[in-house]
Copies of this chain bind each other. A is one copy, B any other.
């Protein structure tokens, strides 16, 4: 195999009570990447289509993560990467994570899979860090592993694929305005009230229990963010109206994806996600802001090969 074309999904992270801990891929939306072996050593970004990201291989997250991988694997060849960016940078659905994961996934495939998907996470994460200045695997881990992933720490054994009740779906709206992850981090308080912490801990624990027991009522009362959302929602037009509508229509939870501006809602069943899509679309049409919406299974697969030769 000399060349591989992959689909690397967008991801929802900071899933309500799971700030910096939880993420899952969006089944139907992501970037496409073509990775080819090259006689010339090292990694080069040879083409970027769609939304702009750095073509400089020292700055592009895909080549940064790929270089880290190559430093360890020491293959006899180099690699060229083409990126078709469908995900807008700064949209809160793992734009950089998609590429940081995609390159290491593709190179690992081209080299005969010397590493497991879990082993690839730390390399993908180092690419992420080039973009967001923080090393959080809550986008790259679900992009690579698929499904709902809990990240307790960056160590492999602490990255956990959670059980997902089969009826869990997700609606996502991506307003096409950019919110820089770094700015969105800046506006967060450095401290949290002890009582808010306790609520967040209790919600997260209850959510994990609810996943294991397919208890939708408990998902609904626990998929809540008491700490982060109130600060970041100010950057998102019509957030309150969208959230209210989602919950009115029966969503199990609704909060900010990543650092925004994308908003997600978790639903029981695809039909509920579609109903929410219709109504939230009406709300957003009034804002005059361009937007896209997506519906996905929560248990969807992550990154995948589209073509190879």
Contact = CB atoms under 8 A, between A and B. Distances in A.
Per assembly, the copies of the chain total 2
A274 interface: no
A3 interface: no
Interface in A141-164: 150-153, 157-158, 160, 162
Interface stretch (A83-91, A201-209, A244-252): A201-209
Contact of A209 (B153, B190, B208, B217): B208
Contacts of A18: 201, 205
Contact of A21 (B19, B158, B202, B221): B202
Given A152-B222, A217-B157, A197 B205 contact: no
A67 to B, nearest CB: 28
A151 B202 contact: yes
A203 B21 CA distance: 10
A200 B194 CA distance: 11
A189 interface: yes
B198 A201 contact: no
Nearest to A212: B212
A31 to B, nearest CB: 28
Interface residues of A, number: 39
Contacts of A198: 19-21
A162 B209 contact: yes
Nearest to A196: B197
Contacts of A115: none
Nearest to A163: B212
A44 B157 CA distance: 56
A193 to B, nearest CB: 6
B203 A152 contact: yes
Contacts of A201: 17-19, 21, 197, 200-201, 204
Nearest to A190: B194
A22 to B, nearest CB: 8
Contact of A191 (B192, B202, B204): B192
A188 interface: yes
A227 interface: yes
A135 to B, nearest CB: 13
Contacts of A222: 152
B202 A205 contact: no
Contacts of A191: 191-194
Contact of A205 (B21, B193, B196): B21
A40 to B, nearest CB: 42
A197 B192 contact: yes
Interface string A211-224: 01000011001100
Most buried by B among A191, A200, A217: A191
Given A150-B202, A191-B193, A208-B212, 16 more contacts: A18-B201, A18-B205, A21-B198, A21-B202, A150-B205, A152-B202, A158-B206, A158-B221, A160-B209, A160-B218, A162-B209, A191-B194, A192-B194, A194-B227, A197-B227, A200-B201
